[in-house]
Amino acid sequence: DTEVTQTPKHLVMGMTNKKSLKCEQHMGHRAMYWYKQKAKKPPELMFVYSYEKLSINESVPSRFSPECPNSSLLNLHLHALQPEDSALYLCASSQGEQVITDTQYFGPGTRLTVL
């Protein structure tokens, strides 16, 4: 089973709202990732959790706050977003081994619109 699930599929929020994106995997993977993707562009890495610890933060604005409650779950808390934050947010997971063969498996994404 190579399934990563994400909820919600679509989200519309105002600039003053607080919302959260959720990601879950049951593959026993120990690395989880958040990516932001604009239309017709490659995904841009935001955060990496390795063994439930934040290992990479790609200089993401503080209005995005990641959380990894356990090895299967990854959240992205959103607060005071800007319209330019509208994008597809993809979650991925991988075994988490520091090897070149470590394959990322992606969820279906959350399409976020900020009004």
Partner 1 sequence: AQKITQTQPGMFVQEKEAVTLDCTYDTSDPSYGLFWYKQPSSGEMIFLIYQGSYDQQNATEGRYSLNFQKARKSANLVISASQLGDSAMYFCAMREAEGGSYIPTFGRGTSLIVHP
Separation between Cα atoms, residue 26 and residue 42, nearest integer Å:
26
End-to-end CA distance of the chain: 37
Q: Token digits for 17?
A: 């709202």
Quick check: 112 and 89 in contact, CB under 8 A? yes
CB of 96 to partner 1, least distance (A): 10
The residue ranges that bind partner 1 (CB under 8 A) are: 2, 40-43, 45, 48, 56, 88, 90, 92, 98-109, 111
User: Closest separation between CB of residue 25 and partner 1, Å?
Assistant: 14
Query: Min. distance of Cβ 103 from partner 1 in angstroms?
Result: 6
Structure tokens at 48: 């990496």
Provide, rounded to whole angstroms, the least separation between the CB of residue 106 and partner 1.
4
Return the number of the residue (16 or 59) whose C-beta is nearest partner 1: 59
CA distance readout (Å), 97 to 10, 24, 25: 32, 19, 16
**Lookup result for tokens 């994400």:** 6
Pick the closer one to partner 1 by CB: 7 or 15.
Answer: 7
